[in-house]
Structure 1
Amino acid sequence: MSAPSTPLALFWADFRENRVALAALAMVALIALAAIFAPLIAPQNPYDLATLSLMDARRPPGFVGSGGYVHLLGTDPQGRDLVSAILYGLRISIQIGVAAGAVALTLGATLGVAAAYLGGRLEALIMRAVDLQLSFPPILLALVLSALLGQGRLQLIAALVAAQYAYFARTAYGAASAERRKDYVEAALATPLSGRRVVFRHLLPNCAPPLIVVATVQIANAISLEATLSFLGLGLPVNEPSLGMLIANGFPYMMSGRSWISVYPGVALIVLIVAINLVGDQVRDQFNPRLRR
């Protein structure tokens, strides 16, 4: 059997040698599939008020509710089945994390490559603004923007993008600047080739590997920030059972023997974030020859 020759095949061959990263990737895929098909596999729709009963509120794991099915992980203070709420919460967390990461990646890569390619005063202006934004903790910036913009998915994504785009901009600028100074790029700029062709053929492809690594980290950070903001009441509205909101709903009952309301959503959040970070660590190691075993 011939050895894999394409870059993707070589990447996958190296990736699967790390069993921890492979297990983490399988966990991420399993969670993503469970979130996508949550309406089909969840025993209850936590958005449907007609299916909720306050008589079932704060019930322990294994309780048979008024709907006739077993609440395997118990219920929250609104009577929502925790299995269903966690599945829908994971769905929200992944949607917001991926959306915020994609927009931040697009915005940051555009600014970073533009600064490296154009140079001059525009480069100084863009990078000073990026450096200024990086001087603030992301959670602080996200808190302030969420308080100003209000609750909602679009507002939350906008706050997360503003808190994260600078990481992509700085990464893209570093990679593009190193490539911009190489002889073959200088030669391409001296030809009649359009600047757009130089950027998309020479600069952006060389920025992709480090940007992919940053994207995996920032998606996990976006999920964590969303949960933090929702826990503090600054993220999603109370009628959307995000993981942060579920943890916040059970927090007052932690010392009264009803810890499952917060513990199970917290465990789901931790598993998701750790799995994404483990995948990101392996991707980083493979793109950086110095870190590869």
Structure 2
Amino acid sequence: MSASDTQSPLRLFWREFSENKFAVGSLVVVVLLAVVAFLAPLLVPQDPYNLELLSLLDARRPPGFVGSGGYVHVLGTDPQGRDLLSAIFYGLRISIIIGLAAGAIALVLGTIVGIFAAYAGGWIETVLMRVIDLQLSFPAILLALVLVALLGQGKGQLIAALVAAQYAYFARTAYGAAKAERRKDYVEAALATPLAGYKVAVRHLLPNCMPPLIVVATVQIANAISLEATLSFLGLGLPVTEPSLGMLISNGFPYMMSGRYWISVFPGIALIILIVAINVVGDQIRDQFNPRLRK
């Protein structure tokens, strides 16, 4: 027996993943951004959410400016006088938290709906999947805009809107995978035993549906971050007291033509790096779970 045969699936997965240096680099970038975001209070000189610390005398200052707080604003300040580096780090934390929370909840909800539809069959399957197909016919950003406008501003409302706009992607993926597994002999054999139906779904259908769901999850986390930034840019995301990357970009947009590029450009670069890195990792995971897509 070769050494590769004795390795765990996780080690085999990582060995193949590590062959793509660009994907490994992207994973490192994602991890570093996450660490920086969650350690932001320890790394930055200012709490950008504390309005008492802000001074309008420091507003719209260029990178390298020494503000009234006595520290250097490495990336400059925004129109409210926030240290832009501090605001970006805090904004990254919001983007990652909302992306992970919305992606995880949508994954659970969509998986339950998809597997239940495939297992139940009949009119239940027809009704559930027609609802999912109807939702998928609308752009996610349109659904998110409508739901946020109805629910109002706040993290909970924003996550709920993103989940409602994205769970259908997981449901359709879980349904397709579970439907294919439902026809196989081992599932029919399990159903012939006294084992409860939900246990068959959890023990047999769910594990075989996870690979495509993991791929969809990585893509949808990036999409959730992008949607949150878009909604915040439009003023429908979080309150102005908790600026996210999208809101920071929006705050600097009116000043682009006056030469104060840093207010929008630096948060935009941080957002692009995060989304691109997650997508690269997701593409590599997709290639490994689908042999036909391997290079």
Q: TM-score, normalised by structure 2?
A: 0.98
Query: Which deviates further from its counterpart, 280-289 or 196-205?
Result: 196-205
Partner SS state of residue 293, structure 2: coil
Residue 161 of structure 1 is matched in structure 2 by: 163
Please tell me whether residue 75 in structure 1 is matched to residue 74 in structure 2: no
Please tell me whether residue 282 in structure 1 is matched to residue 284 in structure 2: yes
Give the C-alpha shift of residue 52 in structure 1.
1.0
Over residues 20-63 of structure 1, what are the superposed CA-to-partner deviations in whole Å (9 max), with x where a residue is unaligned? Answer: 00000000000000011011001110011222111000000000
Partners of 2:25 and 2:139 lie apart in 1 by 32
Letter in 2 for 1:124: T
Partners of 1:190 and 1:125 lie apart in 2 by 27
Please tell me whether residue 273 in structure 1 is matched to residue 270 in structure 2: no
For structure 1, the residue ranges without an aligned partner over 5 or more in a row are none
Partners of 1:154 and 1:232 lie apart in 2 by 18
Letter in 1 for 2:164: A
Please tell me whether residue 148 in structure 1 is matched to residue 155 in structure 2: no
Partners of 1:94 and 1:190 lie apart in 2 by 44
Partners of 1:203 and 1:124 lie apart in 2 by 19
Alignment of 1:249-264 (within 5 A): 249-264=251-266
Partners of 2:61 and 2:73 lie apart in 1 by 8
Selected match of 1:137 from 118, 136, 139: 139
Partners of 2:69 and 2:257 lie apart in 1 by 28
Give the C-alpha shift of residue 196 in structure 1.
2.0
Partners of 2:117 and 2:160 lie apart in 1 by 23
Residue 177 of structure 1 is matched in structure 2 by: 179
For structure 2, the residue ranges without an aligned partner over 5 or more in a row are none
Letter in 1 for 2:153: Q
Alignment of 1:28-177 (within 5 A): 28-177=30-179
Letter in 2 for 1:130: I
Give the C-alpha shift of residue 2 in structure 1.
4.0
Partners of 1:57 and 1:194 lie apart in 2 by 64
Partners of 1:214 and 1:102 lie apart in 2 by 11
Over residues 174-199 of structure 1, what are the superposed CA-to-partner deviations in whole Å (9 max), with x where a residue is unaligned? Answer: 00000000011111101111112211
Letter in 2 for 1:129: V
Selected match of 1:291 from 273, 290, 293: 293
Give the C-alpha shift of residue 286 in structure 1.
0.3
Let me know the Cα RMSD of the aligned residues. Answer: 1.0
Partners of 1:226 and 1:178 lie apart in 2 by 34
Q: Which runs of 4+ in 1 moved over 2 A?
A: 1-4
Over residues 115-137 of structure 1, what are the superposed CA-to-partner deviations in whole Å (9 max), with x where a residue is unaligned? Answer: 00111111111100000000000
Letter in 1 for 2:39: F
Partners of 2:42 and 2:52 lie apart in 1 by 18
Over residues 76-101 of structure 1, what are the superposed CA-to-partner deviations in whole Å (9 max), with x where a residue is unaligned? Answer: 00000000000000000000000000
Partners of 2:284 and 2:21 lie apart in 1 by 10
Give the C-alpha shift of residue 212 in structure 1.
0.3
Partner SS state of residue 290, structure 1: helix
Over residues 217-258 of structure 1, what are the superposed CA-to-partner deviations in whole Å (9 max), with x where a residue is unaligned? Answer: 000000000000000011111111100010010011000010
The number of equivalent residue pairs is 293
Q: TM-score, normalised by structure 1?
A: 0.98
